[in-house]
Structure 1
Amino acid sequence: MVPWLLLGSVLFSLIIGTIAYNVMDKALSNNLNFTCQGRISKASFRIDQQFLPYYFIIGFGNAVSFTAVIFSALLLLFSLWRHKRNMQTNSMRDLSMDAHIKAMKSILSFFIMYSINFICSILTLIYAMKNDTDVIFLTYLIRYTFPGFHSLVLIFSNPNLE
């Protein structure tokens, strides 16, 4: 199943990348030559007017995936917490309870990291319209280090991977 998921992910990325390239190419090629006849009135064109629907679609996609991750993480955290509490009332103190606590800590850290990633992605969309390059650089820096931190948390939380 994993190879099929990877293939689907690559194909989906290829389709989205192709669409994004075509949109950018069309928008920029239509507005490069302002001196030709019929284009003089469009010289005050702003880039955010052209891409506002795409920003909305990107923001909506981020919000839907963030909502799914948050709900699943919260449900899993509450389930693990209830199970841990039931194990404590039965006075079972063993390695299984320590594993539950460790799993809850790692899910909570993913919850916090994904929340920061979502906030940065929304800030990127907002400041892209304002052309504030310093803030955009900082949010991109945080967003692109997210997968690395996620991998490091997974590696260091599992003693076999250390």
Structure 2
Amino acid sequence: MTDQFLTTLLPQLASGAAHTHALGFQYEGLDADRVRLRVPYRADLVGDPETGVLAGGLVTTLLDHVGGLAVWVGLKTYQPIATLDLRVDYMRAAIPGRDLIAEARCYRLTRSIGFVRAWAFEDDPADPVAAAQSAYVISAEGDHRAGANLRAKSSRTAGDAA
């Protein structure tokens, strides 16, 4: 895995998209093969104003996104992926007023699928708000586009040298 991917691209992928930026996702880092994101608590992310508990959709989005990041860490590069399957088990309500953290690990990669486990919590991963099991399709089309771009660049370079 290149340092540039870890220090530049992965943090951008974590919070650079419009929806992840709007939700306030923050890249917390990488510990071996586990990637971590944080969502600071905000009133506009609350699902139930009476209790102050964060919305369940936010938790699902966070777990799905951190899972995708874990696949890219496993691949050691960016490549187009899509969520194939996502199961989220909600274990308890998030504590009102507290930031939510998510960690994910890609535990198996095949040529076309990445398998991930993820969990969301406030302080202790052993006391999760929710846990997820997911699968992501790894796009072979990404490889073909990259190969086509490389071939096109090589032929231009060869033509320029002639």
Q: TM-score, normalised by structure 2?
A: 0.30
Greater strand share, structure number:
2
Bigger radius of gyration among the two: 1
Larger fraction in helix: 1
For normalisation by structure 1, the TM-score amounts to 0.30
More RCO (CA 8 Å, sep 6+) = 2
